[in-house]
Amino acid sequence: MKIDIGLSDILLISPMIALFLASLIPITVKVLRGNKEQPAIATLSQAILGLVVSIGLLIVFGGAGKTAFNNGLIFDGVTQWLGVIALASAGAAIIMMYENPSTKGRQFSELIFLALSSAIGMLILVSAVDLLMVFIGLEMMSLSLYLMIAMSHEEKLSKEAALKYFVLGSFASAIFLYGTAFIFGSTGGTNILNFMEVAPDLIQTSRLFLFGITFVILGFCFKVSIAPFHAWTPDVYQGSPTPHTALMATAVKAVSFAAFLRIIATKSLIGSEHLFDMLQWLAVITMILGNTAAILQNNFKRMIAYSSVAHSGYLLVGVITAGVSDNSAFGASGVIFYLLSYGLMTLGAFAIASMLERSENHIVNIDDLAGFAKQRPMLALCLTVFLLSLAGVPPTLGFFGKFYLFNAAIGEGLLWLAIWGMLSSVIAVYYYLRPIVVMYMREGNAEIAGHSLNATTVTAVVMALAITLMGFVSGPIFTAVEASLLR
- What are the pLDDT digits (tens) for 304-321? 999 999 999 999 999 999
In a domain, 23, yes or no: yes
Q: Give the pLDDT confidence score for residue 71 in this predicted structure.
A: 83
In a domain, 48, yes or no: yes
Q: Please give the average per-residue pLDDT across 10-37, as a whole number.
A: 90
Closest CA to 323 of 315, 331, 313: 331
In a domain, 421, yes or no: yes
Instruction: Give the C-alpha separation, 126 to 120, whole Å.
Output: 10
In a domain, 1, yes or no: no
Q: Please give the average per-residue pLDDT across 319-332, as a whole number.
A: 82
Beta strands at 66-68 and 73-75: parallel, antiparallel or unpaired: antiparallel
Q: Give the pLDDT confidence score for residue 412 in this predicted structure.
A: 86
In a domain, 409, yes or no: yes
Q: Give the pLDDT confidence score for residue 487 in this predicted structure.
A: 67
Q: Residue 453 contacts by C-beta under 8 Å, 6 or more apart in sequence? A: 99, 354, 355
Q: Give the pLDDT confidence score for residue 93 in this predicted structure.
A: 94
Q: Give the pLDDT confidence score for residue 207 in this predicted structure.
A: 86
Q: Please check the confidence at residue 135 and state whether its pLDDT lies above 90.
A: yes
Q: Give the pLDDT confidence score for residue 450 in this predicted structure.
A: 61
Q: Please check the confidence at residue 347 and state whether its pLDDT lies above 80.
A: yes
Instruction: Give the C-alpha separation, 221 to 233, whole Å.
Output: 12
In a domain, 303, yes or no: yes
Q: Residue 419 contacts by C-beta under 8 Å, 6 or more apart in sequence? A: none
Q: Please give the average per-residue pLDDT across 220-232, as a whole number.
A: 89
Q: Please check the confidence at residue 2 and state whether its pLDDT lies above 70.
A: no
pLDDT tens-place string over residues 243-291: 999 999 999 999 999 999 888 887 777 877 888 889 999 999 999 999 9
Specify the higher pLDDT residue, 69 or 477: 477
Give the distance, in angstroms, between the CA of residue 449 and the centroid of all CA atoms in the same chain. Answer: 27
Q: How many domains does the chain have?
A: 1
Instruction: Give the C-alpha separation, 115 to 479, whole Å.
Output: 32
Q: Give the pLDDT confidence score for residue 251 in this predicted structure.
A: 93
Please name every residue paired with 191 in a beta bridge, in sequence order, or none if there are none.
Answer: 130
In a domain, 282, yes or no: yes
Q: Please check the confidence at residue 451 and state whether its pLDDT lies above 70.
A: no
Report pTM. Answer: 0.94
pLDDT tens-place string over residues 156-206: 788 888 888 998 888 889 999 999 999 998 888 888 888 777 788 888 888
Boundaries of domain holding 66:
7-486
What 8-state DSSP symbol labels residue 67?
A: E
Asked whether the beta carbons of 313 and 287 are under 8 A apart, the reply is: yes
In a domain, 2, yes or no: no
Q: Give the pLDDT confidence score for residue 5 in this predicted structure.
A: 72
